[in-house]
Structure 1
Amino acid sequence: MTYALPPLNALRAFEAAARHLSFKLAGHELHVTPAAVGQQVKALEARLGVQLFERLHKQLILTEAGQAYLPGISEGFRQIAEATSQLKPSGTVLLQLGVHGSLDLRRLDLAAFRSAHAEIGLRVLQPAGLHELVEGKVDLLIARSLGRHPGYRCDRIDEGSGLGDWLIAPEGTADCPEVVSFRAWLRALLAEKPRANRRPRLVSGVGS
């Protein structure tokens, strides 16, 4: 049986925009620009022959057709995610961590993290920066930054104010289990360091 389906990227753009009621926040989640989300949704509307959103000044509202369409699309993505999760062997949840070039990886004790979290396959890309995070090449980033990035959760991992080292994750995936596990690991690692040799605890925040 051949299914008459719209393009998957257009459906993802619609589903994310409908949840957030924002092209901007959907773009942050999908690692694309708000304009790209808007173009995908517009193309989907043209293909379906219905309007899914009312585009008001600084406000996005689902039309009646959009409200009717959203539950089925969301459920479809949920079923795809569940089927994929069941297909994967245990221990293959992958977390891709980006690290800026000047950070000494020995400070993170990644071997101990892998040993303690056998269910997470941790890969590290160094050097990496915001470009790799925005493009989806990494899921989580330790960056030398000011820690103010709209749409991203930022946790400072060194002392002081201004430029410093921050753990950065997109708001849409900041609470995924593997990201939460690494954040908790890093928090515990810093807490275990003697005060004379460690930086203060993580300070959480979201860029604005």
Structure 2
Amino acid sequence: MTYTLPPLNALRAFEAAARHLSFKLAAHELHVTPAAVGQQVKALEARLGVRLFERLHKQLILTTAGQAYLPGISDGFRHIAEATSQLKPAGAVLLQLGVHGNLDLRRLELAEFRSAHADIGLRVLQPAGLHELVEGKVDLLIARGLGHHPGYRCDRVNEGSGLGDWLIAPEGTADCPEIVCFREWLRALPAENPLANRRPSSGRHQRELRRV
């Protein structure tokens, strides 16, 4: 059976905006600009041939059509999320890694990590930030910033001062075996990889991440 569906990004924009009744809050959730949310919703309305929102001064209101459309879309996303959560990657322990949106995942050599650590099921969320870490959507996070967050262990993954990439984990779980394993993986990345400063001379001489 072939499903005739509107673009997924447009549906996500509508569903988030409808829940928040705000393009701004939807944009924050989806890590895009309010203008992008507005454009996606407008494109969806054009495709469907109906208005989903009344755009009043500083207020967003669902139309009758929008109110009728929202429950089915929300249920659809919930079913997808539930089905995804039941698909557990290979490995006895699930590790959920969040990564900021500007980082090229190829730099992390995740396929090699999975091959080398078959006991860890690694799942990646990108883009992700402190919001996802605080809410427990990820177990640890590679974030771009200054790396000072009370209650969290922050390890810099590139040399220098000021803004940089940091591996961030809650203090209470920062020393869990799977998180320690991934931290050590970052330390051993090859020198040509922008996340690493130099190639270790041996397995026992890995570059130490600077902890704050």
The two structures have a TM-score, normalised by structure 2, of 0.51
Q: Work out whether 1:63 is the aligned partner of 2:91.
A: no
Which letter maps to 1:94?
Answer: Q
Bigger relative CO (Cα 8 Å, ≥ 6 apart):
1
Q: Work out whether 1:46 is the aligned partner of 2:46.
A: yes
Alpha carbons 2:94, 2:123 under 8 Å: kept:
no
CA displacement 1:135-183 (0-9 Å, x = unmatched): x9x96637328x9xxxxxxx5459xxxxx99xxxxxxxxxxxxx9xx44
Percent pairwise identity:
64
User: Max radius of gyration: which structure?
Assistant: 2
Residue 96 (structure 1) aligned to one of 95, 98, 112: 98
CA displacement 1:30-79 (0-9 Å, x = unmatched): 11111000000000000011111111111111111111111110000010
Structure 1 unpaired stretches of 5+: 99-117, 124-130, 148-154, 159-163, 166-178, 189-198, 200-208
How many matched pairs?
136
The two structures have a TM-score, normalised by structure 1, of 0.52
Structure 2 unpaired stretches of 5+: 101-118, 133-139, 153-161, 176-211
- List 4+ stretches of structure 1 deviating above 4 A: 118-123, 131-134, 155-158
Alpha carbons 1:95, 1:120 under 8 Å: kept:
no
In the TM superposition, residue 86 of structure 1 has moved relative to its aligned partner by 1.3
SS at match of 1:70: helix
Alpha carbons 1:96, 1:139 under 8 Å: kept:
yes
The change in CA–CA distance for 1:10 and 1:47 in structure 2 (over 3 A counts) is same
Counterpart CA distance in 2 for 1:67 and 1:184 is 43
Counterpart CA distance in 2 for 1:139 and 1:74 is 27
Counterpart CA distance in 2 for 1:10 and 1:32 is 12
SS at match of 1:40: helix
